[in-house]
């Protein structure tokens, strides 16, 4: 139910941050107003600073780039990095020698620390990777100010021009987030950071693993003016709103973390009668781009370098779907993410977007898991969002490579790698059974499959949650 983190309010730090965010937002707006060449020039300046900083202060990059010529480097000169490589050299990756993996791991081990500052100055969050170990990302104040500035520019943009601000004020400007809150994930960490730093704001969050009825009851009681969540969560809540069980009148919605199709976006906006801001981001780079009314995502090209590439690392031409995308986060200096293989498949628009936004437009084929519709004992269908299912397995069984497959109206199988099956299979099955029971689905049979997680033949990616055809809402 609604949670209110104890405020840790530091007026001086807040004043400095507010000043930085305001200045950066004004600068970002100004640069973008000058057009795409000014945006590219701004990115080049930030790239030069970041590359120099990484080479000077990160032993990892110094070593990886030792064969490169001294002096200024172009992005294409430097080698691609992966999460496994960076995590294996965590201490050397960071540019502040005071950051040690041992201390970060101890900090992350306590849930009470979610949204608090590590070493009194850094924010830390962890990603829920679909393969290998999860990534852990340390953010400095400059990066947080840049993310806030970019979001405030987006909120002032065209999408929210028609927003019903009278309704928002009438609802006390209350904001609610529905997200995975049981670990240090980026969305809940960012949310709690704002809530702790600005205790006068009315903000609350609901765990995505709660039964839908409990989330609906909580939102009905809270009546948020702003509602944020994963697209599949918002789609589920839109269905509840259409059915009349949920009755809220938000002024704006925010979605991120998963791919949002234009059809799903339209259905959600129609159900709630307000605009939806769609954000494309990742734990590695919190704000990569944002959705536009024409259905494209525009890259924050002044703060992020995004390079779609083929399987051999060559640039993918506009209009074609890439094999993966390399991301460089130009905002964060404490733990540089430079030409990082993000894994998303991206298509760059071959021409300027019809919406008129000069920033490059892309489409992303990212996480694309299914919503499961399972039958309770009395035949009622209960819909479960993939994020909730994945969170249960990841946090309770500490597994990251798995696949939940619906096999029948009330049957689910869990696919694990052979080693994981022996080590944590029983624990994962018990965690899923417990979760289903809390959703009124104690009748659902959960078994361990004999086969391992299988990649989708269409794109070679691992889907964590696979439903039966036609089971999506």
Is the separation of the CB atoms in 255 and 237 below 8 Å? no
355 binds Zn ion (CB under 5 A): yes
| Residues 393-452 within binding reach of Zn ion (CB under 5 A) | none
Is the separation of the CB atoms in 126 and 135 below 8 Å? yes
Tokens of 441: 């689905």
Alpha-carbon distance of 93 to 89, in angstroms, equals 6
DSSP state of 285: E
Nearer to Zn ion, 281 or 360 (CB): 360
Interaction pattern, residues 300-339, with Zn ion; x per rule: CB under 5 A: ----------------------------------------
Smallest gap, in angstroms, from Cβ of residue 351 to Zn ion? 11
357 binds Zn ion (CB under 5 A): yes
Nearer to Zn ion, 239 or 292 (CB): 292
**CA distances to 138, 235, 316, 465 from 386, in Å:** 26, 12, 30, 6
Alpha-carbon distance of 277 to 292, in angstroms, equals 8
Is the separation of the CB atoms in 272 and 255 below 8 Å? no
Among 272, 296, 303, 436, binds Zn ion (CB under 5 A): 296
Nearer to Zn ion, 184 or 298 (CB): 298
Tell me the window of 205-213, 351-359, 431-439, 443-451 that interacts with Zn ion (CB under 5 A): 351-359
Smallest gap, in angstroms, from Cβ of residue 353 to Zn ion? 3
Smallest gap, in angstroms, from Cβ of residue 185 to Zn ion? 28
- For the chain, counts of helices (H) and of strands (E): 14, 20
Alpha helices in 273-348 (DSSP H): none
Q: Return the closest-CA partner of residue 342 out of 360, 330, 329.
A: 329
Look-up of token digits 């080698």: 79
Is the separation of the CB atoms in 431 and 397 below 8 Å? yes
Smallest gap, in angstroms, from Cβ of residue 164 to Zn ion? 23
3-state secondary structure at position 279: strand
Tell me the window of 52-60, 225-233, 345-353, 412-420 that interacts with Zn ion (CB under 5 A): 345-353
Nearer to Zn ion, 251 or 362 (CB): 362
Tokens of 138: 């340390």
Alpha-carbon distance of 328 to 277, in angstroms, equals 23
Nearer to Zn ion, 42 or 278 (CB): 278
User: Which residues does 179 contact at the CB level (< 8 Å), separation at least 6?
Assistant: 185, 187, 188, 191, 205, 206, 207, 208, 228, 229, 230, 233, 387
Nearer to Zn ion, 238 or 299 (CB): 299
299 binds Zn ion (CB under 5 A): no
Nearer to Zn ion, 262 or 317 (CB): 262
Q: Return the closest-CA partner of residue 50 out of 65, 37, 29.
A: 65
Smallest gap, in angstroms, from Cβ of residue 28 to Zn ion? 17
Nearer to Zn ion, 138 or 304 (CB): 304
Tokens of 365: 């084929």
Smallest gap, in angstroms, from Cβ of residue 389 to Zn ion? 33
Smallest gap, in angstroms, from Cβ of residue 261 to Zn ion? 16
Alpha-carbon distance of 93 to 83, in angstroms, equals 11
| Residues 276-295 within binding reach of Zn ion (CB under 5 A) | 292, 294
Nearer to Zn ion, 210 or 292 (CB): 292
Nearer to Zn ion, 282 or 353 (CB): 353
Residue 127 CB neighbour total at 10 angstroms: 18
Smallest gap, in angstroms, from Cβ of residue 238 to Zn ion? 23
**How many residues bind to Zn ion according to rule CB under 5 A?**
6
Smallest gap, in angstroms, from Cβ of residue 295 to Zn ion? 8
353 binds Zn ion (CB under 5 A): yes
Smallest gap, in angstroms, from Cβ of residue 298 to Zn ion? 6
Nearer to Zn ion, 250 or 360 (CB): 360
Smallest gap, in angstroms, from Cβ of residue 350 to Zn ion? 13
| Residues 163-182 within binding reach of Zn ion (CB under 5 A) | none
202 binds Zn ion (CB under 5 A): no
Tokens of 67: 């064969």
Which residues lie near Zn ion (CB under 5 A)?
Answer: 292, 294, 296, 353, 355, 357
């Amino acid at each position: 139910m609604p949670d209110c983190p104890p405020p840790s309010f530091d007026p001086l730090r807040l004043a400095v941050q507010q000043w930085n965010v305001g200045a950066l937002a004004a600068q970002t707006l100004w640069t973008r107003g000058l057009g795409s060449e000014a945006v590219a020039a701004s990115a080049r300046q930030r790239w030069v600073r970041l590359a120099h900083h990484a080479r000077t202060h990160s032993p990892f990059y110094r070593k990886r780039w030792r064969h490169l010529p001294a002096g200024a480097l172009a992005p294409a000169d430097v080698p691609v990095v992966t999460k496994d490589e960076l995590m294996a050299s965590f201490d050397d990756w960071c540019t502040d020698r005071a950051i040690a993996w041992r201390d970060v791991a101890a900090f992350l081990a306590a849930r009470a620390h979610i949204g608090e500052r590590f070493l009194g100055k850094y924010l830390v969050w962890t990603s829920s990777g679909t393969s290998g170990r999860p990534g852990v990302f340390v953010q400095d104040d400059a990066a947080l100010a840049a993310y806030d500035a970019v979001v405030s520019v987006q909120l002032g943009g065209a999408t929210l021009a028609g927003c019903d601000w009278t309704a928002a004020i009438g609802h006390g400007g209350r904001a609610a987030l529905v997200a995975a809150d049981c670990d240090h994930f980026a969305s809940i960490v960012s949310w709690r950071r704002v809530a702790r730093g600005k205790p006068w704001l009315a903000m609350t969050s609901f765990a995505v693993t709660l039964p839908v009825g409990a989330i609906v009851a909580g939102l009905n009681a809270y009546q948020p003016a702003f509602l944020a969540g994963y697209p599949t969560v918002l789609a589920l809540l839109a269905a509840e709103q259409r059915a009349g069980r949920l009755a809220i009148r938000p002024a704006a919605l925010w979605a991120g973390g998963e791919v949002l199709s234009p059809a799903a976006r339209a259905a959600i906006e129609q159900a709630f009668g307000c605009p939806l801001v769609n954000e494309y981001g990742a734990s590695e780079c919190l704000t990569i781009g944002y959705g536009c009314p024409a259905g494209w995502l525009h890259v924050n090209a002044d703060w992020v370098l995004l390079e779609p590439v083929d399987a051999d690392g060559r640039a993918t031409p506009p209009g074609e779907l890439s094999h993966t995308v390399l991301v460089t986060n130009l905002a964060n200096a404490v733990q540089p993410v430079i030409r990082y293989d993000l894994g998303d498949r991206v298509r760059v628009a071959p021409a300027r977007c019809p919406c008129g936004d000069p920033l490059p437009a892309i489409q992303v084929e990212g996480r694309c898991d299914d919503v499961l519709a399972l039958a309770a004992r009395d035949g009622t269908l209960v819909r479960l969002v993939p994020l909730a299912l994945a969170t249960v397995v990841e946090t309770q069984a500490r597994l990251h490579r798995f696949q939940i497959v619906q096999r029948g109206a009330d049957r689910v199988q869990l696919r694990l790698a052979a080693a994981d099956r022996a080590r944590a299979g029983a624990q994962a099955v018990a965690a899923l059974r417990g979760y289903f029971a809390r959703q009124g689905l104690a009748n659902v049979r959960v078994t361990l499959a004999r086969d391992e997680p299988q990649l989708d033949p269409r794109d070679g990616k691992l889907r964590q949650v696979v439903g039966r055809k036609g089971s999506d809402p």
